[in-house]
Amino acid sequence: MEIFWYIAIAIVLTAFFILDGYDFGAGIIHLFFAKKEKDKELITKSAGLFWDSNEVWLVAAGGMLFMAFPTFYASVFSGFYLPLIIVLWLIIFRAIGLEFRGQFKYQMWKDIWDKSFGISSLLLALFFGIALGNIIRGVNLGTAENGISAHEAHYFFLPLWDSSFSPLTTHPGVIDWFTIIIGLIAVVTLTIHGANWIILKTNSSINNKLKTVIFNLNIVLTLLTIFSIIVWQIVNPNALDNFINKPYLLIFPIIYLIGLIGLFFIKKIQKNSHAFLLSTLVITGGIWFSLASLFPVILPSINNVNQHLTIYNTAASEYGLSTALIWGVIGFILIFVYMIIQNRLTSGKIDNMDYGH
């Protein structure tokens, strides 16, 4: 049951980053590339019509973590308390930026909430990438020093950054040079995804320009990907062992590479849905590549005193996992019905749909 719930949660998190990821990307495009009022309205609408339903997946993932892996949930929600609060405020400001923009016609009012939407989207993409960087880097579980654990084996607390700004220190912070690299990969990836979404759902005047933006950002993403794998070996020399021992896991980096290579042909792709699928493959492959490199570990310990947190030593009881399966199926059915209805109502271009007026 532990493996089932691990896969289920991974699917839900992937769905969140695919669906709300294009909202983040749309906000970044809005911040840097939308100059005309008509384009700003269309991009805002392309995110605003969907953001609240997309974030259901984040709530679902949190609930499933609490139910299936309560020790892991307790560990990360206390250890990452500071960045989680920052993420919460960014989600709030992104949402009110979308909802408040159209309430009044004053330009200064619109500009304030446009910046709120764009900057919050950018920082959310960055912080979610940094969060993934922390997971694959590991933390000092138990706050061990000199071979002695100061706290329980699953406890840790990270400052936003350590004075050394290094992932190799005994007490790393949330932000260091390695997690920043992963954060930048997330920003570039979601910007590409958001641009593909805008092209897919709107007739914005910058759509042709966005294809050039996607191509250029894909070059940056390729270079960052290569660089991140090199430095990952410095941070964790055993990072790729799972792929050597279990070759079938190579399907995930292959998925990532298919999406990455395909995006270089963005200007030749005729169907916008195909381009959106390629950036979806990049997100899916990247997340599952990271998770597969750790499995069955879900939070590595960087000390030799306390063991890694795994799906086995953090899971709820077998009875709890089995009972939750019933309610999990019901919950998934409700979410899928909701998504199907929404997609039917918002299919095609959304230029003439009403939002924020």
What are 160-191's pLDDT values in tens digits?
A: 888 888 888 888 889 999 999 999 999 999 99
Confidence of residue 210 (pLDDT cuts 50, 70, 90): very high
Cα separations (Å) of 222 from 120, 134, 185, 294? 25, 21, 9, 22
Helix/strand/coil for 148: strand
pLDDT higher than 60, residue 115: yes
Helix/strand/coil for 309: strand
The reported pLDDT for the residue numbered 158 is: 87
Q: Are 7 and 328 in contact (CB under 8 A)?
A: no
Q: Are 196 and 214 in contact (CB under 8 A)?
A: yes
Segment 125-143 mean pLDDT: 90
Apex CA 10: angle with CA 6 and CA 14, to 5°? 175
- Own/partner pairs for 267-271, CB < 8 Å, 24+ apart? 267/211, 267/212, 267/215
Cβ neighbours of residue 354 closer than 8 Å, sequence gap 6 or more: none
Name the DSSP letter for residue 175: B
pLDDT higher than 90, residue 305: no
pLDDT higher than 90, residue 228: yes
Segment 22-44 mean pLDDT: 90
Q: Are 239 and 136 in contact (CB under 8 A)?
A: yes
Segment 22-41 mean pLDDT: 90
Segment 267-283 mean pLDDT: 93
The reported pLDDT for the residue numbered 250 is: 93
- The CA dihedral of 17, 18, 21, 22, to the nearest 10 degrees, is -170
Confidence of residue 356 (pLDDT cuts 50, 70, 90): low
pLDDT higher than 70, residue 155: yes
Number of CB atoms found within 10 A of residue 322's CB = 12
Cα separations (Å) of 207 from 121, 184, 200, 210? 20, 23, 9, 5
Q: Are 1 and 321 in contact (CB under 8 A)?
A: yes
pLDDT higher than 90, residue 148: no
User: Model pTM?
Assistant: 0.91
Confidence of residue 150 (pLDDT cuts 50, 70, 90): low
For the chain, domain boundaries: 2-345
CA 105 from centre of chain: 33
The reported pLDDT for the residue numbered 347 is: 79
Average pLDDT in the chain: 88
Distance CA 353, CA 54 (A): 18
Distance CA 259, CA 284 (A): 9
Cβ neighbours of residue 226 closer than 8 Å, sequence gap 6 or more: none
Give me the residue label for tokens 């000390």. 303
